[in-house]
Chain A
């Protein structure tokens, strides 16, 4: 592993990717995450946010462009290899194994290093007390918020250096959204770099160090969270009128 500690944790440049032959969903998209950073990606539905995360993670083949992890070129590597390299991923939907219990889901999270299970499960119990109390409950029977916590815990079992989160707050009540964002900041505060896609653009930009606005498979805007929150064009196009009233 030729990891360069000073290189960006993630540097994806000019990514072109898509699902169907001949149709590019991402059309030259770039994101960068520095060590310890919390980076947000916002944009309208269908902009390609989930696609970007999948391409970066290796679930979707990159048609052109490069993906680097800590300076190492990992373009075209499959996702399970990225997991070995310290990347955790929480999908937008279906992010836990519903028929498995909380404990079994956490075991799946550390499938590659089963010996570390006890130590990591203890750490996760501390970070997510709600999970500790529900070890034997089936993931499928948990509430949306609890499931999201479990999904994050699952992805953290391998102690990733970079966590990819796809809309962690989607479908949750405001209270649970707050809980999720709190946890994300806590995880980030512990030194894990985070790339987070969010539909809740305002909240996302409020807690992010930097943000990208994606539109139609391209970078539309980027800057610090505070900067984007004040940008007239971003407000107009992506944050909606509510944002301006506030």
Chain B
């Protein structure tokens, strides 16, 4: 990937700023009475669950970077808006009181439309004027702030849950337990990620996305409408972020800044996996999620994001291109 050298330091700075924010209340309560093996397994399950949700939100962030080299600081807000939009339709006293499933579907659609709107309305005109990447990066920070505070005004600061699937009994699986809700979310997330991979690997639009990520001019020269591909990537990324937001709101809680807090982990995931690669985003996010949860076996929950970042740094020292960086690049 050719990207201006300045981008990575800028990103690192962003990560530092982000990590100053306190960690979201992640982590299931681990029953103290069980043996270490059981607790480890439980943390692993929680980690996979957390990781696949991060992965769903991070794919769009990674694809946007891959295709237009933009670091979208506002990507977390897509997550928040997805969750709060679904909350409005589902559980807000002012809303229509839909069941969560249609509300989630509407939120995903809304995420796609939002992605389309920012590409057509903002990024595309700015790109057409030749705005530099650093300037665009600053604009994404501004957009993030703006969107976050719009959510704050509309939604408020009170954490909330969806009307359905809120409190559930865990299914006892011997040493570990998982609620039907969490199990469903995890399985659905894995299914979605497999779907994304199949889409990228087997469809024409997927081929086009990969081609644009590798070499934009050569993609154009192959007859691919790059602007259209970029639009699709934004819609796709927006939809996935919204879905991830609903999932996160389901297994954890909905807050006005949930996406912003997740952003740190998404960045960690996509850098860890290899910038710009969708598969890298998946693998990296999974690692980040697992490390964050497993670390709570030994260390305070408040530090779990810090451990995820530490792993990021260690991996980058050994493998600067990330786990899958450069290897998977195709056209």
- Real complex partners, A and B? yes
A23-77 contacts to B (CB < 8 Å) = 54, 57-59, 61
Cβ of A161 to closest chain B Cβ, rounded Å: 15
Q: B223 to A100, Cβ gap below 8 A?
A: no
Q: B211 to A79, Cβ gap below 8 A?
A: no
Residue B331 lies at the interface, judged by CB distance under 8 Å to chain A:
yes
> What's the dominant secondary structure at chain A's contact region?
loop
Q: A80 to B331, Cβ gap below 8 A?
A: no
Q: B220 to A97, Cβ gap below 8 A?
A: no
Partner of A80, one of B204, B207, B225, B328: B225
Residue B130 lies at the interface, judged by CB distance under 8 Å to chain A:
yes
Q: A78 to B225, Cβ gap below 8 A?
A: yes
Which residues of chain A are within 8 angstroms of B223 by Cβ–Cβ distance? 80, 83-84, 111-112, 158
Residue B166 lies at the interface, judged by CB distance under 8 Å to chain A:
no
Residue B221 lies at the interface, judged by CB distance under 8 Å to chain A:
yes
B214-229 contacts to A (CB < 8 Å) = 214-215, 217-218, 220-227
Cβ of B114 to closest chain A Cβ, rounded Å: 25
Residue B99 lies at the interface, judged by CB distance under 8 Å to chain A:
no
Which residues of chain A are within 8 angstroms of B146 by Cβ–Cβ distance? none
A80-B225, A97-B330, A99-B330 are known contacts. Are A20 and B220 too (CB-CB below 8 A)? no
Complex Cα spacing A19 to B218, Å: 18
Which residues of chain A are within 8 angstroms of B226 by Cβ–Cβ distance? 78, 80
**Nearest neighbor of A158 in chain B, beta-carbon distance:** B223
Cβ of B220 to closest chain A Cβ, rounded Å: 4
A78-B227, A111-B207, A111-B223 are known contacts. Are A99 and B331 too (CB-CB below 8 A)? yes
A20-B130, A21-B130, A78-B227 are known contacts. Are A91 and B221 too (CB-CB below 8 A)? yes
Q: A59 to B217, Cβ gap below 8 A?
A: yes
A-B contact count (CB 8 A): 75
Residue A219 lies at the interface, judged by CB distance under 8 Å to chain B:
no
Count, chain B residues at interface, CB 8 A? 23
Complex Cα spacing A79 to B331, Å: 17
B288-315 contacts to A (CB < 8 Å) = none
Residue B34 lies at the interface, judged by CB distance under 8 Å to chain A:
no
User: What size tier do the contact residues of chain A reach?
Assistant: 20 to 34
B141-195 contacts to A (CB < 8 Å) = none
Which residues of chain A are within 8 angstroms of B217 by Cβ–Cβ distance? 54, 59, 79, 91, 94
Which residues of chain B are within 8 angstroms of A105 by Cβ–Cβ distance? 331
Cβ of A157 to closest chain B Cβ, rounded Å: 9
Residue B329 lies at the interface, judged by CB distance under 8 Å to chain A:
yes
**Nearest neighbor of B227 in chain A, beta-carbon distance:** A78
Complex Cα spacing A80 to B223, Å: 4
Cβ of B55 to closest chain A Cβ, rounded Å: 22
Cβ of A125 to closest chain B Cβ, rounded Å: 19
A70-114 contacts to B (CB < 8 Å) = 78-80, 83-84, 88-91, 94-100, 104-105, 108-109, 111-112
Residue A15 lies at the interface, judged by CB distance under 8 Å to chain B:
no
Complex Cα spacing A210 to B328, Å: 43
Complex Cα spacing A123 to B214, Å: 27
Q: B225 to A108, Cβ gap below 8 A?
A: no
Which residues of chain A are within 8 angstroms of B130 by Cβ–Cβ distance? 19-21
Encode contact with B along A150-170: 1 for CB under 8 Å, 0 otherwise: 000011001000000000000
* 6 A-B residue pairs with CB within 8 Å: A78-B220, A83-B221, A84-B223, A95-B218, A100-B331, A111-B223
Known: A78-B226, A80-B223. 11 other contacts (CB 8 A): A79-B217, A80-B224, A88-B221, A97-B214, A99-B328, A99-B330, A104-B331, A108-B211, A111-B211, A111-B222, A158-B223
Going nearest first, the 5 A-B pairs with the smallest beta carbon separation are: A97-B331, A79-B220, A83-B223, A112-B223, A89-B221
A residues with a Cβ closer than 8 A to B are 19-21, 54, 57-59, 61, 78-80, 83-84, 88-91, 94-100, 104-105, 108-109, 111-112, 154-155, 158
